[in-house]
Amino acid sequence: MLAKKFNGMIEERKDFIMEKSGGSQRDIKCEENSLAGVVSQRACVYCGARVVLNPITDAYHIIHGPIGCASYTWDLRGSLTSGVETFRTSFSTDLSETDIVFGGEKKLAGAISEIVENYDPKVIFVYSTCVVGVIGDDVDAVCRKAEEKYNIRVIPVKSTGFAGNKSSGYKAACHAIMDLMGEPKEKVEGNKINFLGDFNLAGELWINEGYLNKMGVEIISRFTGDSTCQELQEASRAKLNIVQCAGSMTYLAKMMKEKYGIPFINISFYGLEDIEDTLRKIAFALGDVEVIEKAKKLINEELPKTKEIINEYRERLEGKKAAIYVGGGFKAISLIKQFKELGMEIVMVGTQTGKQHEYENIRELCDEGTIILDDANPAELEAFMKEKGADILVGGVKERPLAYKLGVAFCDHNHERKHPLNGFVGAVNFAREIDLTINSPVWKYIRKKAGESYE
């Protein structure tokens, strides 16, 4: 069926695409490397590692590789900080042709020395990029010698290769964080938790923390928005881990459970349904009667008035068609629910790093005829958006030009954005943005055929 609808489909890609129908129950193929020659929307392994570690406010980052790797991820997150802004500065060994031939270990050692002399760092992360994996620099050895010499933490981040799956980079970052946290520390009393997978985009972490504080819950460590190296080293003392960005942080949560005995739950502060469910899940996981009552009170105060505002936007958006292409499955699932809250139809859903159980959830939530894709390329996104008549695409910076070229509205839900989309405040912001972009008068002019009057 799909072959008839999209004649340009590459044969090997057919298992990564499915259309929900009553008679179609096959599993979608996922968690695979991108196909050679296909222009994946994914990022490289190094980029995956960097987006996780970058928001640690007082860490220093050395990108061991050509200067292009450093420029690619310069200030790549819209993370905000309540402290220092060291994380906004990147350092690179800027490997040249000579370094490729003779090796770059001396240059890396010199870069570490220069940062120590000029900035007095507590922690330095050293990223191995693709070319370093090719020439075989022993980055681990250089980092060990630097730690002994300067008595600070110098942590290698093994992020070589373009596996076509930035999840490999997430795992590299998680191993680096485990290295930083070190041995278990004594547990603390009370309702103290770690928040994994919130990077404080546009100050979203502060919104979430406000809700938790009203419930009587305190965050020990944030992974990694607005966090510090010292804060992360205290993480093993927490009673519970909550995991929002499942793609980047579930792996870390599992390692922390094994090493530190900290249980974890998956949550999402995106969309009214998930916000309410999240607040209840956290309260019941902690098992404190007072926290449970405070969570109920918070929900009863915020939910009705937020629904009232969102219903005003629903009147203008009901029946519109949405296409979704985001990084992780958890975000796609929350977005499906949010669009349904607005009375909209979801016609296409895709992710870069979705897991099988997430796609099963997506399939359950979607209506008949919805196209579901794993690791899509621009040609596929364009073909299915045209076929399904999408009115808006939700995605990241790489998808924006595609939407605009097709004359389709766009909502940036990636890590470059500068406005919060989570919590009760964010739910209203999301509805307002969807309304503004879909119902903008610009689209009726763009979609006019050549030569037609604009009136």
Is there a domain that residue 432 lies in? Answer: no
Is there a domain that residue 244 lies in? Answer: yes
DSSP, res 221? E
- Binning pLDDT at 50, 70 and 90, where does residue 226 land? very high
Burial of 282 (0-12, 13-18, 19+ CB in 10 A): buried
Number of structural domains (the chain) is: 3
Same domain for 154 and 225: no
Same domain for 377 and 254: no
Q: What is the pTM of this model?
A: 0.91
Residue 81, domain CATH: 3.40.50.1980
> Is 415 in contact with 294 (CB distance < 8 Å)?
no
3-class DSSP assignment, residue 114: helix
Q: Does the structure show a pLDDT above 80 at 164? A: no
3-class DSSP assignment, residue 454: coil
Is there a domain that residue 444 lies in? Answer: no
Is there a domain that residue 438 lies in? Answer: no
Each residue of 290-343: pLDDT tens digit?
999 999 999 999 999 999 999 999 999 999 999 999 988 999 999 999 999 999
Is there a domain that residue 450 lies in? Answer: no
Please name every residue paired with 196 in a beta bridge, in sequence order, or none if there are none.
223, 243
Q: What angle do CA 199, 204, 208 make, to 5 degrees?
A: 105
Same domain for 163 and 231: no
What lies within 8 Å, CB to CB, of 92 at 6+ separation is 62, 63, 64, 65, 66, 67, 69, 70, 111
Query: CA 86 → CA 79, 188, 226, 293, distances in Å?
Result: 12, 29, 11, 40
What lies within 8 Å, CB to CB, of 394 at 6+ separation is 322, 323, 324, 325, 326, 335, 410, 411, 413
Same domain for 256 and 177: no
> Is 388 in contact with 422 (CB distance < 8 Å)?
no
Q: Which ranges in 269-377 belong to alpha helices (H)?
A: 272-286, 289-317, 329-341, 356-365
Q: Encoding tokens for residue 210?
A: 């406000």
Helix 272-286 with 329-341: angle, nearest 10 deg: 120
Residues 89-103 have a mean pLDDT of 91
- In the block, tokens 């009136």 appear at 455
Of 162 and 44, the one with more pLDDT: 44
Is there a domain that residue 172 lies in? Answer: yes
Calculate the CA 115 to chain-centre distance.
Answer: 29
What local confidence, expressed as pLDDT, does residue 34 receive? 79
Is there a domain that residue 142 lies in? Answer: yes
Same domain for 86 and 56: yes
> Is 337 in contact with 357 (CB distance < 8 Å)?
no
DSSP, res 416? T
Q: Which domain holds residue 223?
A: 192-298
Q: Cα–Cα distance between 121 and 207 in angstroms, integer?
A: 30
Same domain for 177 and 52: yes
What local confidence, expressed as pLDDT, does residue 315 receive? 95
